[in-house]
Amino acid sequence: MDSPTPQSTLVASPTSIATPTSSRLSFGIPRSFSTPTPSSSSSERLFTPFRGIVSGGEGSRALGAASTELAALRDVLNAIDTLPFVKYLASVGVQLLQYVIEMQINNDMFKNLAFRAKDVIVAVARACDGLQSMAAQLESDLRQLTSTMDNILAFATEKVSRGTLKKLWSKSEDVAMVRALDMQLTHAFHIFQIQSDVISRRQQDLMMKQLADLSVSPIPSHVETITDRPLRVQEGIYLIKNAASGNVLEIEDFKPYGHVSTTHVVMVTYSDEPLQTQSWSIQRHANKDFDFTIRSLATGYVLDIVHNWDREGTKVGGHPWQPGAGNEIWSAWGTRRGASGDYCTIRSSGLSTVLDGSCPQNNPKCHELHATHITNAGPSFSQEWQLVPLSSPSSGLASVTHAPDTPDTIHVYPRRRLLLQNVQTGMFATRIEDSDGSNVTLTTSPSSSSSWSILYIDIWRLDRFAIITTSAHPQTLDHWGGSHINVRSLSVFTCLSH
């Protein structure tokens, strides 16, 4: 029988190769050898690195190594979870190594080809482990590799069936055929690597896009308006931020002595470190759920519609609290939900106007707060506000580390806790238990008994405040009998007379 003509490329499919019937193997194990015992773990399957064996690794130096290579392929073949097309590739590799062992082939070139085929098969088997759901795609990607294995098996079967093996392997055309098959095997493996890299990158890109879609949600526009009812607002200290400009309310830090005067309330740029003049205490009025007073922490003045006017564009300022004045009582009506919090209009309970952050005269130099009416179209953005909480009634003294005094919490109206420290000595005013003499002393370090609050006394034409204890039943700091400092039960007359 004449030897086949050398070919530069072999790309025929498994069905187009003129291969003897005996060389076509099923997905099972050939009958020519018994079933081996599988190895304890698939991770123990040894194979020569593909790059090393292409350049001439240790697997090509000894014929006895074929037995070890054969055992690795049998493990792949006998594994229960091996994909069918991988089993077929393994059976081809087993047959090639069987030829090398049974025929005692010492030609390094053909032996190298068989070993390289084995290494590729084992590498593919490991890569496909656990990917049963992708069997169809993997089989398509490995079509060229499968075709190459068929060509190698057909060549080996035809050569083994010849008579004189010693002469058979020395022919130049056989050497050329082995080289061509070797190149085709290397090319098929590289193609599979490229396909795998592309698929991997595509999957990574898809995963990154999915993660981005999960972590980034669009900011909702005007959604779920709830303008038909007022809201319950938790008593606490807030910044009052305008929805249109992002500016916050700030009161003029000035309180005239001897006469009453309305102070200015203006719009200023929002800051992460707000001033005390930008901090407002929202407190329920007369224990009603929806009526509130909005009081400045800096001056004690409340938001007040000037002159109690109901006309469009009336200014809103700060004024001492006047019991019974409807223009100093407010309610919050929800407008929409935002990404960073809910928005509301702040409406006067005694008048038909709301707070507006823009000047009704469209004067860009005017930054004062006004009261306007809501149109039939609904509130404008400048009439919408966001209450940014700074603290709640349960907030403690942030600058002092001490055990929280649970019962000593002022629920009437949340006040900021302060320390009274002497400038010259650096000592702190601290309450002590002493029924006979002074119950206030000076200590070198603050404790829970060293915290105090400021209470403004809203008496007409007077500007007074009391220093009170931070307890459920507050007491005022008092100059007792002109002899020593003491604390005693809180009363307005005590605050005014001492």
Determine how many CB atoms are found less than 10 A away from the CB of residue 27.
14
For residue 104, give its domain range: 21-214
Domain count, the chain: 3
Are 270 and 366 within one domain? yes
* pLDDT given at position 295: 93
453: phi then psi, degrees, rounded to nearest 5? -135, 160
Comparing 348 with 35, the larger pLDDT belongs to 348
Query: Which of residues 251 and 31 earns the better pLDDT score?
Result: 251
In this structure, what DSSP letter does residue 310 have?
A: -
Q: In what order do the strands lie in the sheet with 418-419?
A: 418-419, 451-457, 464-469, 475-480, 484-489
> Is 10 among the domain residues?
no
CB 397 within 8 A of CB 260: no
- Average pLDDT in the 135-156 region? 71
- CATH number of the domain encompassing residue 267: 2.80.10.50
CA atoms of 498 and 487, how far apart (whole Å): 12
Among 43-47, 178-182, 338-342, 395-399, where is mean pLDDT lowest?
A: 395-399
Residue 400 has pLDDT above 50, yes or no: no
Residues 290 and 434 in one domain: no
Q: What is the DSSP letter of 285?
A: S
Query: Would residue 353 count as lying in a domain?
Result: yes
Q: Return the percentage of the chain with pLDDT > 70, whole number.
A: 53
Give DSSP secondary structure letters for 113-179: HHHHHHHHHHHHHHHTTT-GGGHHHHHHHTHHHHHHHHHHHHHHHHHHTSS-HHHHTT-HHHHHHHH
Residues 75 and 188 in one domain: yes
> Distance between CA atoms of 240 and 282, rounded to whole angstroms?
10
208 and 277 within one domain = no
Extract the tokens encoding 469: 């204890």
pLDDT digits (tens, 9 = 90+) for 75-92: 665 665 556 767 677 777
Q: Which residues of 338-376 are buried (b: 16+ CB within 10 A; e: fewer)?
A: beeeebbbbbbbbbebbbbbbbeeeeeeebebbbbebee
Q: Could you tell me if 264 and 312 lie in one domain?
A: yes
pLDDT over 50 (residue 278)? yes
Range from 41-50, 79-88, 340-349, 391-400 that averages highest in pLDDT: 340-349
Q: How many residues does the chain have?
A: 498
Is residue 413 domain-resident?
Answer: no
The reply to whether 366 and 427 lie within a common domain is no
Per-residue pLDDT for 411 more than 70?
no
User: Which of the listed residues 155, 179, 214 is the one where a domain comes to its end?
Assistant: 214
Query: For residues 193 and 145, is the Cβ–Cβ distance under 8 A?
Result: no
Q: How many Cβ atoms are within 10 Å of 286's Cβ, its own excluded?
A: 8
Helix (H, G, I), strand (E, B) or coil at 440: strand
Q: Is 284 helix (H, G, I), strand (E, B) or coil?
A: strand
Average of per-residue pLDDT across 22-38: 34
What is the mean predicted confidence (pLDDT) over 208-236? 64
Mean pLDDT of 98-118: 64
Is the domain of 372 the same as that of 244? yes
pTM of the model: 0.42
Which residues make Cβ contacts (< 8 Å) with residue 290, sequence separation at least 6?
230, 231, 232, 331, 332
User: Is the predicted pLDDT of residue 46 greater than 60, yes or no?
Assistant: no
Q: Find the mean pLDDT for residues 340-349.
A: 88
Give 246's DSSP letter.
-
207 with 241, same domain: the answer is no
Whether the CA torsion 190, 195, 196, 197 is positive or negative: it is positive
Q: Is the sign of the CA dihedral 352, 356, 362, 363 positive or negative? A: positive
Sign of CA dihedral 359, 361, 364, 367: negative
- Cβ atoms < 10 Å from Cβ of 129: 16
Tell me the CA end-to-end span of the chain in Å, nearest whole number: 128
pLDDT at 180: 75
Residue 75's pLDDT is 65
**Same structural domain, 426 and 299:** no
- What digits encode the pLDDT tens for the residues 64-75? 555 565 666 566
Q: Looking at the domain assignment, is residue 6 inside a domain?
A: no
Which phi and psi angles does 390 have, rounded to 5°?
A: -105, -30
Residue 231 lies in a domain: no
- The pLDDT tens digits for 162-218 are 665 555 555 666 677 777 777 777 777 776 677 667 667 767 777 777 666 654 444
Residue 285 lies in a domain: yes
Token pair for residue 412? 């009437």
More confident residue, 25 or 491: 491
The mean pLDDT value for 89-101 works out to 70
Note whether residue 433 is domain-resident: yes
- Which is more confident, 400 or 317? 317
Least confident of 134-143, 145-154, 315-324, 339-348: 134-143
More confident residue, 251 or 80: 251
171 and 38 within one domain: yes
Share of the chain above pLDDT 90, in %: 19
Tell me, what's the pLDDT at 493?
41
Residues 41, 136: one domain? yes
Residue position matching structure tokens 């049963």: 132
**Of 284, 287, 282, the residue nearest 388 (C-alpha):** 282
- 146 and 107: one domain? yes
CB atoms within 10 A of CB 205: 10
Distance CA 425, CA 496 (A): 28
* Residue 3 within any structural domain of the chain: no
From CA 159, how far away is CA 19, in angstroms rounded?
12
Q: What is the pLDDT of residue 73?
A: 58
With bands split at pLDDT 50, 70 and 90, how would you rate the model's confidence at 288?
Answer: confident
Beta bridge partners of 428: 421, 443
Q: Judge whether residue 392 has pLDDT over 50.
A: no
Three-class secondary structure of residue 328 per DSSP: helix
